[in-house]
Structure 1
Amino acid sequence: MTASPDPRKNRLLAALPDGEWRRWRPQLEWVEMPLGQVLYESGGTLSHVYFPITSIVSLLYVMENGASAEIAVVGNEGIVGISLFMGGQSTPSRAVVQSAGQGYRLKAQVMKEEFDQAGPVLHLLLRYTQALITQMAQTAVCNRHHSLDQQLCRWLLLSLDRLQGSELVMTQELIANMLGVRREGVTEGALKLQQAGLIRYARGRISVLNRPGLEERTCECYGVVKKEYDRLLPEKLAS
């Protein structure tokens, strides 16, 4: 049986004051988050919020014809389900696990009660929401103005920031769905990065060999998003 990780490996949970942490800890439920699991569908009512620890969740906007594109990624820096405490109850996006791992979830009612107390939890979650909105806006700009090569580098770097290692388990089809492009475009982009010695891609596994090289190759969008998260959120605890 897999041991459950420390909940405070998630930056938001780690930032909770002692009083809030003591209230939350007994109500946090450890969950496995397998690749491809849908945490919520577009228009669905949220029963829980999720705090990834070793997993990454992709927020996708799905069109009427089934086409989709990623609008943000959430990992151990954040929470999945902001519409719950922002007053919406549901959201037009879909949340899908893009990198398998573990996390914790908290019942919707508990989260709403904590948020409504207008204490430190409210301010922490609002700062996180501002950072997430920045990521969504920058993703939209990036998808409109930058090359697929740059978008792929940005996506890889954002994913790496939310993982402990340097390897992602990810099929080209899933990456194509995330970026809203044809699979052939992802194949070509990944091949370019591999030929440049930046990554190794085989059998659905992407190993990053040269992170500084990826940072040089990507557009400014990655730096804008990272700077905003670093500015608004508390530092990640040491492992």
Structure 2
Amino acid sequence: MPPPSTSIPIGNRLLDSLPAAEKADLAPHLELERLELKEQLLTQGKRIYTVYFPLTAVASLLNQVEDTEGVEIATVGNEGLIGLSLSWGIDTLNPREFVQCQVPGDALAMNSDIFASKVSEGGELTWLVHRYTQAFVTQISQQVACNGLHSIEERCSRWMLLTHDRVGSDEFPLTQEFLAQMLGVRRPSVTLVAGTLQQAGFIRFRRGRITITDRRGLEGASCECYHVLREVFDRLV
């Protein structure tokens, strides 16, 4: 049997920021996994057994509202981790919340007990997780304000831009039905907005995939929330 790895694949901003000694300490406890579209990573009211550090995958924390399939509360990509509440000593998800993969890709998985133990040691990982917690809370509060004040076109553009930042590719899987679910709006509203953005030359939808064709134009169609959140994550993570 080969010895445990002492290196960590690059791509997650939290792990990339760790000093070499802490990376070497964590490496044997991290396992590369492929996350698939709509795969449920954390389940409502259930214990959290695994923490995920996304590399190219993107996931959403959703709330099961009434008869919906879930409305997005926050998004997690390569800037953070899935299972954050473990750092506060909470090992069970809220009864109405769950985490689902929205863009398939790779992530590094760690046993939840090991993660909680490492965070409790007070090293650089602890400090980075605390900073990410602040960014995560800011994301939720900004998204609440955005949903209440801004148009569907602005919110769609903001969502696409933040996802574009996280996946590192101009093209990624996305259906209009799934985007409507994430934003908590009706499918026809997203279809209308997507058509407007496509006619403007900012995006291209084709067979369940989206391509960002004019990022600057899409930024112009977005609300200020995109730049607010981008600045927060760049400053804190």
Settle same-fold status: TM greater than 0.5.
Answer: yes
Stretches of structure 1 lacking an aligned partner (at least 5 in a row):
234-239
1:172-194 C-alpha deviation (Å, 9 max, x unpaired): 11111100011111111100100
**Structure 2 Cα separation of the partners of residues 215 and 66 of structure 1:** 29
| Aligned with residue 15 of structure 2, among 13, 16, 24 | 13
| Aligned with residue 117 of structure 1, among 116, 121, 137 | 121
SS in 1 for 2:198: helix
Identical columns (%): 41
Q: Following TM superposition, by how much is the alpha carbon of 1:64 offset from its aligned partner in structure 2, in angstroms?
A: 4.1
State yes or no: 1:227 paired with 2:212: no
Aligned to 1:89: 91
Aligned to 1:32: 34
Aligned to 1:134: 138
Distance 1:66 1:200, change over 3 A: closer
State yes or no: 1:76 paired with 2:82: no
SS in 2 for 1:102: strand
State yes or no: 1:147 paired with 2:151: yes
Q: Following TM superposition, by how much is the alpha carbon of 1:66 offset from its aligned partner in structure 2, in angstroms?
A: 3.6
**Structure 1 Cα separation of the partners of residues 184 and 69 of structure 2:** 7
Aligned to 2:110: 106
1:5-48 C-alpha deviation (Å, 9 max, x unpaired): 96221111111122211111011011110111000122111001
- Counterpart amino acid of 2:208? G
SS in 2 for 1:97: strand
Q: Following TM superposition, by how much is the alpha carbon of 1:119 offset from its aligned partner in structure 2, in angstroms?
A: 2.1
Whether contact under 8 Å (2:8, 2:23) holds in the other structure is: no
- Counterpart amino acid of 1:59? L
- Aligned-residue CA RMSD in angstroms? 1.4
Question: Pairwise mapping of residues 197-208 of structure 1 onto structure 2 (< 5 A)?
Answer: 197-208=201-212
**TM-score normalised by L of structure 1:** 0.92
- Counterpart amino acid of 1:86? W
Whether contact under 8 Å (2:11, 2:55) holds in the other structure is: yes
**Structure 2 Cα separation of the partners of residues 168 and 18 of structure 1:** 32
Q: Following TM superposition, by how much is the alpha carbon of 1:59 offset from its aligned partner in structure 2, in angstroms?
A: 1.2
- Counterpart amino acid of 2:91? Q
Q: Following TM superposition, by how much is the alpha carbon of 1:164 offset from its aligned partner in structure 2, in angstroms?
A: 1.8
Q: Following TM superposition, by how much is the alpha carbon of 1:206 offset from its aligned partner in structure 2, in angstroms?
A: 0.7
| Aligned with residue 188 of structure 1, among 176, 182, 192 | 192
**Structure 2 Cα separation of the partners of residues 66 and 151 of structure 1:** 19
Whether contact under 8 Å (1:67, 1:180) holds in the other structure is: no
Aligned to 1:57: 59
Distance 1:6 1:112, change over 3 A: closer
Larger mean CA deviation between 58-67 and 122-131 belongs to 58-67
Aligned length: 229
**Structure 2 Cα separation of the partners of residues 17 and 6 of structure 1:** 12
Show structure 1 runs of 4+ deviating over 4 A.
none
Q: Following TM superposition, by how much is the alpha carbon of 1:67 offset from its aligned partner in structure 2, in angstroms?
A: 4.7
Whether contact under 8 Å (1:38, 1:95) holds in the other structure is: yes
Stretches of structure 2 lacking an aligned partner (at least 5 in a row):
1-6
Aligned to 1:237: none
- Counterpart amino acid of 2:39? Q
**Structure 2 Cα separation of the partners of residues 180 and 46 of structure 1:** 26
Whether contact under 8 Å (2:8, 2:27) holds in the other structure is: no
- Counterpart amino acid of 2:50? H
- Counterpart amino acid of 1:73? T
Aligned to 2:3: none
1:67-118 C-alpha deviation (Å, 9 max, x unpaired): 5211111111110110111122122221111011111100011111111112
Q: Following TM superposition, by how much is the alpha carbon of 1:168 offset from its aligned partner in structure 2, in angstroms?
A: 1.8
